[in-house]
Structure 1
Amino acid sequence: MLSPDEQRRYSRQIMLFSEEGQERLKKSTIFIAGAGGLGSPVALYLAAAGVGQIIIADNDLVELSNLNRQIIHFTRDIGERKSESARQKIEAINPEVIIKVHHITIDSENILDLIDTADGIVDAMDNFETRYLLNKAACEKQIPLFHGGIHGFSGQATTIIPGRTACLRCIFPHAPPEETFPVLGTTAGFIGVVQANEVIKYLTGTGMLLENRLLLWDGERAEVDIIAYEKNPNCQVCGNTDDNNVVN
């Protein structure tokens, strides 16, 4: 049940998906991989929306060069753990939310423990090695993966539902070369908000998800394209093989 304060706090969105939908948010746990450019808006908006428990994993410290896009961190936080900085801001925005943070590098040894009983995984990473780990963990746990990626003025987002959609490895069979790429804060904000919106829709059962559809944002032209994609029956993660669901 929602408390009187919660009913007031969420009154404008309860108009959209009722108290039942709000209670679904309250009972949910979301794991956010990364507290950087994408993780910042995702964490802030999910906390504001009333997702009951948020788990964040990030192994970095706040640097001055982060602050053009990682809006959950302030100048005073430089040198602090990103995970702890994020926790402080989330608690300030919504003390009703349970926040768990891990100052840790996500790897094949800890991923399943980190996601624990999460109802969904937000991919807010900047490298495909970790993204593939998140994808395999989501397939093994049969929970959704909310993918986002950014580069300069451009970004992309999709929602992967194991058993219903293609997985991330189907869409991107090979990782692009690693690089230090340009990032604009507004691009991270746009894609992060799309990811948070997908999480909220999934948890409340509202609207149409980006299932088997890749949203492409071109910030220079202010254009959004949607590209349909299909599951690869020979995918090494979600295809018809004997060892699909092993995280390695």
Structure 2
Amino acid sequence: MNDQQLLRYSRQIMLNDIDIDGQEKLLAARVLIVGMGGLGSPVALYLAAAGVGHLLLADFDRVDITNLQRQIIHTTDSVDQLKVESATERLRALNPGIALTQITEPLDAERLQQHLQGVDVVVDCTDNFAIRFAVNAACVQHKIPLVSGAAIRMEGQLAVFDSRLPHSPCYRCLYEPTEDDTSCTANGVLAPLVGIIGSWQAIEVIRLITGFGESSAGRVQLFDVKTAQWRTFKLPKDPACPVCGVDQQN
């Protein structure tokens, strides 16, 4: 690190669990963020501020005025602009010392193979279930940790899936493909809720990169705004899972 980096990240380096070694790991890390909406906004902002060296931003949508209630990385001037372009402008202004890659096409299985090269952590911030399942399958295949978040109405969910660990479940162990529309567009969402879940996703990414604390893999955390309470339940690995089950590993 140079003097400017030591100064910029000094408050983080002061933490015993980060220190210079942890900060250097962050600067060397490559993170793919899928979705630059309500969850992706705080994830990208905090990871950029924390000094994650290379962020890959994936989203094929454009900013709509209805997004601005919760997607805090975008501004009124961003309306009709590609979300990854709007996000890139904001992140470059926040931290010009990191690398940013824009991905503006949907992430199908073939494109994921290309973009996952060298990635340390993937952050799922999309409400598109087809993309969620494709990202999960690719992360299992490449043994890349996946930090998954979701928020709808007044309920949020957070989970870490780490296929490097033999007993870690994957996203497919938790959900089966569905045609139900559980998007914010159809159901609404409280704005600060996505900030809470997205901020926790950013924390989990930093924990995975720097290696401090215990793994969150195998747990699903739920947050209820009405009761202001977190609930946690264990998620075992499904041996019959079509993505990470026993038959897939043989």
Q: TM-score range by the shorter chain?
A: over 0.9
Name whichever of 179-188 and 61-70 sits farther off: 179-188
- Corresponding residue for 1:204? 210
Unpaired segments of 5 or more residues in structure 2? Answer: none
**What amino acid maps onto 1:178 in structure 2?**
D
Q: Secondary structure at the match of 1:99?
A: strand
Alignment match of 1:190 (pick from 184, 190, 196): 196
Distance between the aligned counterparts of 2:87 and 2:113, measured in 1? 22
**What amino acid maps onto 2:114 in structure 1?**
D
Distance between the aligned counterparts of 1:152 and 1:138, measured in 2? 28
TM-score normalized with structure 1 length: 0.95
CA deviations on 1:166-218 (whole Å, 9 max, x unpaired) are: 00001113436124221121111000001000000110111123211111010
- Corresponding residue for 2:41? 40
Q: Which residues in structure 2 correspond to 1:79-228 (within 5 Å)?
A: 79-164=80-165, 165-175=168-178, 177-179=180-182, 180-228=186-234
Q: Secondary structure at the match of 1:101?
A: strand
Runs of 4+ in 1 over 4 A off after TM superposition: none
TM-score normalized with structure 2 length: 0.94
CA deviations on 1:131-164 (whole Å, 9 max, x unpaired) are: 1101001011111000001111110001110042
Cα RMSD, aligned residues only? 1.3
Q: 1:240 Cα shift?
A: 1.5
Distance between the aligned counterparts of 2:43 and 2:215, measured in 1? 16
Q: Is the 8 A contact 1:127 1:178 kept in 2?
A: no
Unpaired segments of 5 or more residues in structure 1? Answer: none
Q: Secondary structure at the match of 1:66?
A: helix
Distance between the aligned counterparts of 2:47 and 2:22, measured in 1? 14
Distance between the aligned counterparts of 1:108 and 1:21, measured in 2? 32
Q: 1:115 Cα shift?
A: 2.2
Matched residue pairs, number? Answer: 243
Q: Secondary structure at the match of 2:101?
A: strand
Distance between the aligned counterparts of 1:175 and 1:214, measured in 2? 19
Distance between the aligned counterparts of 1:12 and 1:217, measured in 2? 29
